Amino acid sequence: MFEFLNQPEVIKTIVTLGAMSLFFVGLFGLLTRKHIVKVFISIAIMESAIFLLFIGLSFNREKVAPIIDATQTQVATMNDPIPQAMILTAIVIGMAVLALGVSFAIEYYKLTGKTEIDTMNEMRF
C-alpha cells in the first residue's frame, strides 16, 4: 500500500521536508537554548540535516554503486560518488569541531563553573 513511496519524486519530497524540519529544529535550538551542550547538539542536528538532504537528494535508487570493476564499466549508470565523499569529509570535520568545542567547554567549566553561553561575559566592553 506504500508503493507510491517508491517513486523518486515522493522520496525526494519526503527527504527534503524531513531534512528541512530537522534543520529548523536545530536552528530553533541554536536560537533559544543557552546551555552550551545544547547549543552544540543543535549545531550537530543542523549539520546532520544538511548531510541528509544532500545524500537523500543526490542518491538515485535506479543507479548502482560507483565502483568500477569487471562488470560495471558504464559511468552513466552509476551513482555520483562525489556527494558521499563530500559528506564523509564534512562529517569528519564537523565531529572534529564539535569535539574541540566540547573540550573547550569542559575546560571553561572547570575554570569558571559556567555553562550558559549568555553568561560568558568575562570581558564585557
Applying CB under 8 A, which of residues 54, 59, 66, 79 lies at the interface with other proteins? 54
Long-range contacts of 2-5 (CB under 8 A, 24+ apart): none
Task: Kindly state the smallest distance separating residue 71's Cβ from other proteins, in Å.
Answer: 22
Q: Return the residues of window 11-30 that contact other proteins according to CB under 8 A.
A: 27, 30
Rg (the chain; Cα; Å): 20
The answer to whether 123 contacts other proteins (rule: CB under 8 A) is yes
The answer to whether 53 contacts other proteins (rule: CB under 8 A) is yes
Angle separating helix axes 36-58 and 82-112, nearest 10 degrees? 180
Q: Based on CB atoms, which residue is closest to other proteins, 70 or 123?
A: 123
Cell triple for 10? 515522493
Q: How far is CA 120 from CA 33, 44, 95, in A?
A: 14, 21, 24
Q: Return the residues of window 79-108 that contact other proteins according to CB under 8 A.
A: 80, 82-83, 86, 89-90, 93-94, 96-98, 100-101, 104-105, 107-108
